[in-house]
Structure formats: structure tokens, C-alpha cells
Structure 1
Amino acid sequence: MRNLLLFLVAATMPWAPPSSAGQLAVDLELVLAADISFSMSDENLAVQTDGYAQAFRDPEVVAALSTGPLGQIAVSYVEWSDGQRVVVPWTLLRNRVDAERFASRIMAGSAKRSAGTTYITGVIRFGTRMIEENDFAALRRVIDISGNGENNRGEAPDRARDLAILRGIAINGLPMPTWVDPRRLGEVPADIYYRDHVIGGPGAFLLKVDDRANVLRSIKSKLLREIAAN
């Protein structure tokens, strides 16, 4: 109900993307935020990184880049745990060459698992700042968060999510599998937690990854939904 109310408020606000002589209009501003916290297994990290890289090499995803009115999107790739690190800064994607370069930078810059906690609130705030302070302007602005557990540091993500929504930013989720049943740790499953506390905004959705073999397929489906939603 809260997400619905915030969506209705955001939809009726006189919001428009910022514009200035130094900003470039694009169809989408997309922050891809990948969890590398301690609860992520080495296998999860590997398939997550490879999944994003391979998705941007997929012909369907490449074709989707130019389907919007402007034929170009802006994307960044961030790794997060209890802090955030920009792996690939804001990059303009229009064609296969751009997408291949972006994929290669993900593979080259991705880190090993962090010893840090799962700070979803922090990455939502970080992604919001990245979108509001970049050199692009788009009607669709999205933070896409992959992770395998609930926020376990500081303030719950609800308020950060709500503030992002009020700024015209949607938050999507990709809940990942974990090596321990979350109920044994007194936690709710990641997909339920993301549904209730993380995702929100215009067109927001989550795609649950049921097993590691489906990570690439899920990432590809998610990107196609985000990129082609014009």
C-alpha cells in the first residue's frame, strides 16, 4: 500500500529530469548495483559478474539499446556491501561496440567478496546521488539492486527507497540464492524482503533467481525489461 501511495504521489508531482547545456538526453539512466557482501558465496559472485557481462554481449540486449526514442541509454555498474565502489562509471550505450566495452570493464574491474555487511540503505542512497549528479537527463531513472539477504546495518531501507521514489527513481530487485536457508538465521527470504522493503516506484519489479544456473537468464530478462520499457 505504501508503494502504491508513493507511486501516485510521484506520478502527480511536477517532476521533470534535470536539464542543462552540459547534460545529454538519454532514454534511461540505470545504476546496476551488485552485492559483494560476506553472505555472497564465491560461486554467487562469479555467476553474478559473468551474468552481467554476458547479458551485455547478448544480441537481444544489444538490440534493445536503440529501441527508445533517443536510441541510447546511460548505465553504471556498482559493487556494494557496507560501502560502495563504482566499477564502471556512467557510460553511454548505443550499439554492440559500446555494450562489449561495458561488459569487458565489468569483468576487468570486479572485486572479490567483501568482508562487509549487507547495507542496502547505503546503496540506495548512493545510487540516488549518482543519478541526480550525473551528466545525463532521462524520464526513466532506475536503481537495480541484486543481493541475497536483508539489510543488516543501520536504518532499514524503506525511507531511502521512499525518498528515491519521490525523486522519480524506480528501484528494481534481483534476489539471489544463498548457501544458508535464511530462516535458519531468523531472516525472511530475500525475495520477500526485497518486495516489502526495497523495490518501488514507477514500473518497479523484482525477478527472483531460484538457482545459480538461472542467473544469466534472469539478468538478461531483467535488463530487457528495463531497457525496452519505452
Structure 2
Amino acid sequence: MWRTAISALAFAAMTLPTHACDLALALAVDVSGSVDSREYGIQMNGLAHALRDPIISEALVRGDSRLMLVQWTGASRQQVTIPWTRIDSFDAIDAFAVAVEQDIRVWRNFSTAIGEALQATMDTFAQVPDCKRHLIDLSGDGFSNEGLEPTTVHPELRAAGITVNAIAIEESEPDLTAYFFENVIVGEGAFVVSAAGFLDYPERIRKKLLREVTQQTAVLD
């Protein structure tokens, strides 16, 4: 009888549903001509530091998350520089953060094509179909001035279930947050975080990621 009970428990364990990752998070970093080398370094080091935040890193690991980084600038210039990476341990998140710190800038002197950045980043989510939440985290310091209008990509993003949040770096564009709110973000609960300048970016991106990934922790609990 006890063997029957053990067999039943074993069968139940084997048939329990497996959980896919909770969050696929694409980090889309602005490397257009308005971002100088110092500002690029502030972005990448600030992002890496934020990913190592104890609460953020724990939420990402607990959620068996996927992270990816894309650099973007002009209409024909978007490149995945760190491909989708499974975050299933603290070693994995630290390795990803190191990769971010060491990520070599691909372009330096081109325009700002936010629509194409969203389109190209959206296309990569076909590689992570099993994640519960699909999110693009776009940073930028200027208005889109080349290529597709960002809003033209919104219907496809909605259809794909991808949310876009943004961080507006208002170094020289004081109305950028309003522009991002009206033209860039999309999806249920989408939001914009403002940074007065690049020096404010590290703390603002940390708070932004904290807001994004703690929703994942609530789901897991």
C-alpha cells in the first residue's frame, strides 16, 4: 500500500506544471550622436550596478528571467550586443552585469530612430516565447528624428503582448519625458522615469528596474 502511495506522489510530482520564465527584459540603450563617450560609460556602468542591486538581482534570479541588451541609434543601426541570457543564479546575473560594463560601443555619430529601435527589439522576443511578461526598457536622451514614428510600432507591440517602459534623460531636452509618455511607451502599466541628466541615470535606472522586477516577485509569492 505504501508503495502505491509513493508511486502516486511520484506521478503527481512529474505531472506538476513547470514554470516558464516570468520576465523577458530587453534593455535598449541609446548610443546616438548626442551621447558622448563619458555619458555612454555612465549608462553602462549605472545599468550594471543596478542589476547587482540585491532586491533586483534576487527577483530576476527567482523568476528565472531572460535579459538581453541592444544598442540603437539611426534607422538602420540597431544591434544586439548581449543576446538573450538565462538568469537562473547570482553568478549568471553577475556575469551579465560584467558583460554590460564591458560592452563595446558599436556606433557614435548617428541619428535617433526610436521607431526602428522598438521594431528591431520587438523582433527578438520570438526567441523567448515562454516568458510570462515581455518588456522593453528603452533609454534615450532625445526625440526620434529619423525613420518610423514610434507610435506606428505600437499596434504590433500590443498584439505581441510587449510592454515598453522608458527612461528619459533630459540632459538637453526638458520636454523629453512628455514626449516619451505620448509617443514611446505602450502597454498595460507602462511608465516613464525622468533623469535630469546622465549623472542622475544610475539611480533612476535602479529605481526603474526595481519597479519592473518587483512585480515579478509578487507573482512568484
Q: Under TM normalisation by the shorter chain, which class is it?
A: 0.7 to 0.9
Q: CA deviation at 1:169?
A: 0.6
The correspondence for 1:117, drawn from 111, 120, 124, is 111
- What does the per-residue CA deviation read over 1:120-161, in whole Å, with 9 as the maximum and x for residues that have no partner? 000110111001x20441221111110011111122110102
The correspondence for 2:84, drawn from 80, 90, 94, is 90
- Larger C-alpha radius of gyration, 1 or 2? 2
SS in 2 for 1:228: helix
**Other-structure match for 2:9:** none
Q: Please say if 1:176 is aligned against 2:169.
A: yes
**Other-structure match for 1:202:** 188
Q: Please say if 1:140 is aligned against 2:126.
A: no
Q: CA deviation at 1:95?
A: 2.7
Q: Take 2:207 and 2:88, find their aligned partners in 1: how far apart are those partners?
A: 19
**Other-structure match for 2:24:** 29
**Other-structure match for 1:151:** 144
Q: CA deviation at 1:226?
A: 1.5
TM-score, normalising length: structure 2: 0.83
Larger mean Cα displacement after TM superposition, 196-205 or 157-166: 157-166
Q: Take 1:33 and 1:227, find their aligned partners in 2: how far apart are those partners?
A: 16
Query: What stretches of structure 1 of length at least 5 have no aligned partner?
Result: 1-23, 183-187
RMSD: 1.7
Q: CA deviation at 1:43?
A: 2.7
**Other-structure match for 1:81:** 73
**Other-structure match for 2:208:** 222
- What does the per-residue CA deviation read over 1:7-58, in whole Å, with 9 as the maximum and x for residues that have no partner? xxxxxxxxxxxxxxxxx82101111000000012333211101111111122
**Other-structure match for 1:72:** 64
Greater fraction helix: 2
One-letter identity of the residue aligned with 2:41: A
TM-score, normalising length: structure 1: 0.80
One-letter identity of the residue aligned with 2:123: R
One-letter identity of the residue aligned with 1:176: I
SS in 2 for 1:91: strand
Q: Take 1:110 and 1:219, find their aligned partners in 2: how far apart are those partners?
A: 20
Q: CA deviation at 1:218?
A: 1.0
Count of residues paired in the alignment = 196
Contact 2:170-2:177 at 8 Å conserved across structures: no
Contact 1:149-1:189 at 8 Å conserved across structures: no
One-letter identity of the residue aligned with 1:108: Q
Contact 1:125-1:160 at 8 Å conserved across structures: yes
Q: CA deviation at 1:216?
A: 1.3
Q: CA deviation at 1:207?
A: 0.5
The correspondence for 1:49, drawn from 44, 48, 55, is 44
Q: Take 2:102 and 2:167, find their aligned partners in 1: how far apart are those partners?
A: 22
After TM superposition, which residue ranges in structure 1, 4 or more long, deviate above 6 angstroms?
none
**Other-structure match for 2:197:** 211
One-letter identity of the residue aligned with 1:141: H
**Other-structure match for 1:128:** 122
> Once the two structures are aligned, what percentage of the paired residues are identical?
28
Query: What stretches of structure 2 of length at least 5 have no aligned partner?
Result: 1-18, 217-221
Contact 2:71-2:106 at 8 Å conserved across structures: no
Pair 1:110–1:203, CA change in 2 (3 A): farther
Q: Take 1:76 and 1:137, find their aligned partners in 2: how far apart are those partners?
A: 15
